[in-house]
Copies of this chain bind each other. A is one copy, B any other.
Amino acid sequence: MRILSHEIPSAVGQTVTVAGWVHRRRRLAAVSFLILRDRSGLAQIVVKGPQEQLDSLGEETVVEVTGTVAANAQAPGGAEIVEPVITPLTEPAETPPIELWRPTVGAGLPVVLDNAPVALRHPVVRAGWEIAAAALYGFREALNGQGFTEIQTPKIVGTATESGANVFALDYFGGPAYLAQSPQFYKQQLVGVFERVFEVGPVFRAEPHDTVRHLAEYVSLDAEFGFITDHRDVLAVLRSTIAAMLAAVETRAGGALERLGVTVPEIPVDVPVVHFTEALKIAGADPEEPDLAPADERAVGEWALREHGSEFVAVEGYPMVKRPFYTHPQPSDPRWSNSFDLLFRGVELVTGGQRLHRYSEYVAALAVRGESAESPAYSSYLQAFRHGMPPHGGFAIGLERFVARLTKAENVREVTLFPRDLHRLTP
């Protein structure tokens, strides 16, 4: 019966079996050490006597080790395995392209990405995804606890709806089809069915720019729900969701945080909110600007930290002209919208808001853009609205971007398992 390496310290004096990868071999004059890596951490195994077997077990070879646990203050966790019987479970491994046993990653990002199947084994590289997996757990836990229904919507769609640009086209049984850029239309339709829905799934953007922030395929965490008063209700659910994600990262990926040397921020119960017009003033920007420049966002972030002690701040009321057609206007002044960006450390983390919910509003909003509600691109989507939809809204969190911000990764690819971009389609 195999135990995990982190269970070794509580088995002193017992005979145990562990299994994992040869992480590192260290030869001293009288003795050698085999450091074994499994999913829970590292184990130290003391090899005395003939060294031939150890010589044959290159790093990354998978082995099973049975031996006796002995206390040793210098070993990881204060215990090690002595008098081991080592059984290889595979043929000897080839030397990895990256030295996985070094505490820091000795290779540049392109080498890491080219060799992802092996590079991801490095405890520091792996940490990014451990945090992502924990965040996914927290996201679902928060929304399941609030009566949301999980949905899974099609990724192959018949029309390039949300925006004709940056969409991947494919051959669908001889006809045209596209990869969904977001589940926006579907999640809204399903508010009409389940009231409160969430989806975790891939979205696709044929992003023609090669930046540290963009991927051609990423994981979108979407939520949408009905019977709201306005976008402030959406912000409240977003706050509790992010709080749950951060808590899950702390409890489920504590080791990964430690390896990366980062801590989880606090999100206040009342996230500070400023109107877009106020944000421009705080940033000292031209009051006619239709959007916040990166420097403006940083200034607003600094303001929130200074005035409210918060690393999070929401900017609401973005100009309608910069928001998608389904955005609900601010009732008191329709130049502005009932939508918001949530900034974290001065950078946009999540976009959300209230949507239009009356069919006549959609007809008008599309007409302004010279489009027809009867067009095949919208007719199915808008069927839900012809037959009664409640006031609703929602938000979308980009998983990789969320983790990159949290871990202060410079490039979103550092925390993506197998990134896809303009130049990368493998591994």
What is A's interface to B at a CB cutoff of 8 Å?
A: 2, 19, 21-22, 38-39, 60-62, 89-91, 93-94, 96, 115-118, 120-121, 126, 129-130, 132-133, 136-137, 140, 144, 147, 149-158, 168-173, 175, 177, 179, 186, 189-190, 192-196, 200-202, 204, 206, 208, 216-217, 219, 227, 357-360, 376, 380-381, 383-384, 386-391, 399, 417-418, 420, 422, 425-427
Contact = CB atoms under 8 A, between A and B. Distances in A.
B170 A118 contact: no
Contacts of A120: 190, 192-193
Contacts of A189: 117, 427
A39 B192 CA distance: 10
Given A152-B417, A383-B117, A384-B118, A38 B425 contact: no
A206 B171 CA distance: 10
Given A62-B389, A62-B390, A387-B118, A380 B427 contact: yes
Given A156-B168, A358-B90, A425-B157, A383 B115 contact: yes
A194 B422 CA distance: 28
A154 B420 contact: yes
B118 A151 contact: no
Report copies per complex: 2
B171 A169 contact: yes
A150 B170 contact: no
Given A90-B389, A201-B201, 14 more contacts: A19-B227, A39-B147, A90-B390, A91-B358, A133-B149, A152-B202, A152-B219, A156-B420, A156-B425, A158-B426, A173-B216, A202-B202, A380-B427, A383-B427
A271 to B, nearest CB: 22
A129 B151 CA distance: 8
A91 B425 contact: no
A227 B133 contact: no
A180 to B, nearest CB: 10
A390 to B, nearest CB: 5
Contacts of A227: 2, 19, 89
Contacts of A60: 387-388
Contacts of A388: 21-22, 60-62, 90, 93
A192 to B, nearest CB: 6
Contacts of A154: 202, 217, 417-418, 420
A156 B217 contact: yes
Contacts of A360: 91
Nearest to A38: B195
A126 to B, nearest CB: 6
Given A60-B387, A91-B358, A147-B39, A380 B426 contact: yes
Nearest to A119: B193
B194 A39 contact: yes
Nearest to A170: B170
